[in-house]
A and B are shown apart, each in its own frame.
Chain A
Amino acid sequence: MARGPLAVVAAALLAPVAVAAAPSAPGALRVGITAVLFEKHLELNRQFVAYVGEKLGMPATLVQRRTYKQMSDLLERAGLDVAFICGLPYVIDHERFGLELLAAPEVYDGPIYFSYVIVPADSPVQSFEELRGMRYAFSDPLSNSGWLVPAHDLARMGTTPEAFFKRTIFTYSHSASVEAVAVKFVDGASVDSYVYDYLARIRPALVARTRIVRRSAPHPITPVVVRAGLPPELKDRLRRTFLEMGEDPRGRALLTSLGFKRFVPIPDRSFDGIREMRRVVSERSGVAASAARRSRP
């Protein structure tokens, strides 16, 4: 799974540079959101974190990082309390240090989303297979929709991204991948359906320069997770805050702004499909491990 729905939030502008974390107040709830995608979302992220803090009756601080790896590291070191994080890093970190699920946003029917394969609008390419020997953009080496899903498809085809494509890049942002395709920096890219559909609403001109050639099967959407060892009482209050957001107008407005219907509970077994894909890809060539090495610290 690619960056979480909120992670999607805001930041093409700041993409190349890691967003500095706001200095966290002592005893404050630290909420992690990866890469800011759209300008509007930086403000939305703050409003969201502020809302959560108010509901809990405690100060809350927004912590932003560019990559999932950076986010994982923070969660492992208890530098974060709660975070939006993609399905793949959840699966990995759940195994490594007991990352726990809290809830998941609902964008489509249920807490699901898809991985899109997109090409430039005027490209002759009609299918994923036709992208052989071309330049391809992945979003993040720990992204489900932006890396694992296409890598899994290639593994099932008996190949690896390195062998299949002429050249691959990581944009560390789904919206950046859309843009890279739109300006023809690459010939194709795998992107998060939530980000793509959201961009189609707020930047229709950009999205119009691209075309979807393939939709994946549904996958569990980017969940909200809490670090291991968070006090159960706080964890419960947090879960309630998310699940009940649709019940007050301010929470409802925030949900609408983010393109979410509501937050719903999500069980760990929903991520078994991702575990299976990861296994297939690892077995095929160890590409995931190699990609992970290439990922930024």
Chain B
Amino acid sequence: MIERFALHRWTLGAKLAATFATVISLVVLVVSLWVVARSRSALEHELGDRGADAARNLSRLSAELVLEEDLWGLYKVVRDVVGADGDGLVAYAAVIDAGGTVLAHSDPARHPMGEPFGDGTDAPADAHPAGLDPSTGSGAVAVRHFTAPVIVDNQQVATARVGISLRKLEATIGRISWEICALGVLLQWLGIGLGYMIARRMTRPLTDLRWAVDRIASGRLEDPPTVTTKEKDEIGALADQFNLMARHLRDSQRHTAEAHEQLVRSERLASIGECAGALAHEIRNPLGAVVAAARMLSSHAPQATTYDRERLAEVIADEARRLNRILSEFLMYARPRPPSRQPHSMNALVAEILELLRLDDLARGKTLDGRIGPESVPCDMDRDQVKQVLWNLLRNALEATPEGGRVVVETVQRGESVLVQISDEGAGIPAERQGRLFEPFHTTKEAGSGLGLAIAHGIVSAHGGSIGLSSRPGEGTRISVTLPLRAPATGGRNEAA
């Protein structure tokens, strides 16, 4: 819950509005306190003046009446002093004789004429001889008392007392406070509104920036987003910088794409050149032998024996077949036939190949060990193509294995695929050559075309499978062929059909 109100989660607008409201609140608070204090001071000063005036006025009006003992006249004067002030400012007025006895009080029921003045509800008269008397009464309404001497023939014969009620002062202060409060609340709301508007104006380019950054982050650089703002402040500068950055990114991406395309094109041309070179190299040897045999046959024809002629013709024929085989395999590699997949037993296929190979001269003196289970392991495959792959791989293994060595073939079903592993005990393949083993025309054998493994790789890939190789020099090589048991719904089977 506290986390929800954590400041760092607030939007910029909320923060600005809150800041405005806080600043305005503080200003209003300080101004309010100042105004109230000043108003109180001014009003108290004015009350002091009016109280002193009223006391002096009462004193002046009382002198003759006190002298004549016209107490009723005196009562009417004190009553007039209280009543003349229509707003109830004067709480009471009284004339007290020199002995402290009430001559007249505006409230005769509480302060009867002829009784001692000061029954505890007002400050004692003698406590404040003359002039301003800033004490306050103990009643619900605070009263400030003012006294003035009543002088007759330079002698004080009585004291005029006036009590000024602070009720009006408090009411005025209260009203001022309320007005300031109301003004403060109004200003606060204005501040929040203003803060929100400024925040919106400030954050609009930031929102645009965020949207543009999102577009760039999602890789849509081709039509780079532009943030427009009329602001010339830091945010405006940021937007300009962003627009510049977006254009640079777009240009940079274009250059990268062009460079990549150029590289791919160069690599393809280099690959074609390499391939053509290798093919030319493969063709040149048998072609040279054919040319040499033919030249020999034509230049030495008269002297040549029939045997010699037959030998030369046989060489030409052999080399021509070799040329044909090279070109056939190259075509198989360059334009492979799409596999025609039917369900066949992988184990049965491996067993058949092992049966044939055991009759081959290649397997003489070597152990061909087939570790195949009795189950059929049905697999959707082009049986001829897979047979060619396994045949080639097994022959390679037998060729690499010295006499007395062992070649092991193992089939294992793993989930939705079948793994065929062929291990030999040959010399192994150096690590630096393993990477190029499946490239065309790459061979370690004297008589090999260098296309067998490349073709095998192409067939397995066309079946959606993979060929893996692990080899250590001196310890032999293991080839792993993995084929999916089921052809994908839109796989080679349909293509074949």
Residues of A with Cβ closer than 8 Å to B? 15-16, 135, 137, 166-167, 169-172, 176, 180, 183-186, 294, 296
Since A16-B65, A135-B113 are in contact, a sample of 14 more A-B pairs with Cβ atoms closer than 8 Å, ordered by chain A residue number, is A16-B76, A135-B112, A167-B113, A167-B114, A169-B71, A169-B72, A169-B113, A171-B72, A172-B70, A180-B72, A180-B75, A183-B108, A185-B113, A296-B68
Give the complex CA separation of A18 and B75 in angstroms.
17
A169 to chain B, nearest CB (A): 4
Tally A-B pairs: CB < 8 A.
45
A172, A185, A296: most-surrounded residue (chain B CB, <10 A): A185
Mask of B161-199 contacts with A, CB within 8 angstroms, 1/0:
000000000000000000000000000000000000000
The residue from A166, A176, A184, A296 contacting B72, defined by CB atoms under 8 A apart = A176
- For A135, A137, A172, the residue with the greatest tally of chain B CB atoms inside 10 Å of its CB is A135
Contacts of B73 in A (CB 8 A): 15-16, 172
Any A CB within 8 A of the CB of B109? yes
By beta carbon, the residue of chain A nearest B72 is A171
Give bound CA distance, A25 to B28, whole Å: 72
Q: Which residue of A lies closest to B110 (CB)?
A: A184
A2 to B: closest C-beta gap in Å: 15
Min CB–CB distance A179 → chain B (angstroms): 9
Q: A135-B113, A166-B114, A167-B113 are in contact. Are A184 and B69 (CB under 8 A)?
A: no
Task: Flag whether B82 is at the interface (Cβ < 8 A).
Answer: no
For the complex, give the distance between the alpha carbons of A186 and B104 in Å: 11
**A137 and B72 within 8 A (CB):** yes
Alpha-carbon gap, A180 to B68, bound state (A): 18
Residue interface bits B239-281, CB-to-A below 8 A is 1, else 0: 0000000000000000000000000000000000000000000
Nearest-neighbour CB distance to chain B for A9, whole angstroms, equals 19
Interface assignment of B386: CB less than 8 Å from any CB of chain A: no
B300 vs chain A, min Cβ distance (A): 171
* Least Cβ–Cβ distance between A19 and chain B, in angstroms: 14
- Choose one: A16, A167, A185; the contact of B77 (CB below 8 Å): A16
Chain B interface bracket (under 10, 10 to 19, 20 to 34, 35 or more): 10 to 19
Residues of B with C-beta under 8 A to A186: 113
Q: Which of B69, B71, B104 contacts A294 (CB 8 A)?
A: B69
| Chain B residues whose CB sits within 8 angstroms of the CB of A137 once the complex forms | 72
11 intermolecular pairs with C-beta atoms under 8 Å apart: A15-B76, A16-B70, A167-B113, A169-B71, A170-B70, A176-B76, A180-B72, A183-B75, A185-B72, A185-B75, A186-B113
| Nearest CB on B from A12, distance (A) | 9
B 68-112 contacts with A by CB, 8 A: 68-73, 75-77, 104, 108-109, 112
With a CB–CB cut-off of 8 A, which chain B residues contact A183?
75, 108-109
A176 to B104, CA, bound (A): 15
Docked CA distance A48–B76 (Å): 29
Nearest A residue to B76 via CB reads A16
Using CB atoms, name the residue of chain A closest to B64: A16
What residues of A have a CB within 8 angstroms of the CB of B75 in the complex?
Answer: 180, 183, 185
A185 touching B108, Cβ below 8 Å: yes
A16, A172, A184: most-surrounded residue (chain B CB, <10 A):
A16
* Nearest chain B residue, comparing its CB with the CB of A120: B109
Contact status A184-B112, CB under 8 Å = yes
CB distance from A228 to the nearest CB of B (A): 30
Interface residues of B in 48-76 (CB under 8 A from A): 65, 68-73, 75-76
Question: CA A184 – CA B73 in complex, angstroms?
Answer: 15
Query: Would you give the shortest CB distance from B419 to chain A, in whole angstroms?
Result: 124
CA A296 – CA B114 in complex, angstroms? Answer: 22
Among B65, B71, B109, the one with the most A-chain Cβ atoms within 10 Å of its Cβ is B71
Cα(A171)–Cα(B73), bound, Å: 7
Contacts of B65 in A (CB 8 A): 16
In the assembled complex, the Cα of A169 lies from the Cα of B66 at a distance in Å of 12
A137 to B114, CA, bound (A): 13
Q: How far apart sit A183 and B111, CA to CA, in the bound complex (Å)?
A: 12
Could you tell me the distance in whole angstroms from the C-beta of A291 to the nearest C-beta in chain B? 12
The one of B72, B104, B109, B114 that contacts A170, using a Cβ cutoff of 8 Å: B72
Q: Which residues of B contact A185 (CB under 8 A)?
A: 71-72, 75, 104, 108, 113
A185 CA / B78 CA spacing, docked (Å): 12
| Bound-complex Cα distance A266 to B108 (A) | 42
Report A286 CB to chain B, min CB distance, Å.
19
With known contacts A135-B113, A135-B114, A184–B108 Cβ distance under 8 A: yes
Bound: A284/B455 CA distance, A? 165
Inter-chain contacts of B72 with A (CB < 8 A): 15, 137, 169-172, 176, 180, 185
Q: Which residue of B lies closest to A183 (CB)?
A: B108
Task: Indicate the member of A172, A180, A296 with the most B CB atoms within 10 Å.
Answer: A180
Give Cα distance in the complex from A287 to B465, angstroms. Answer: 150
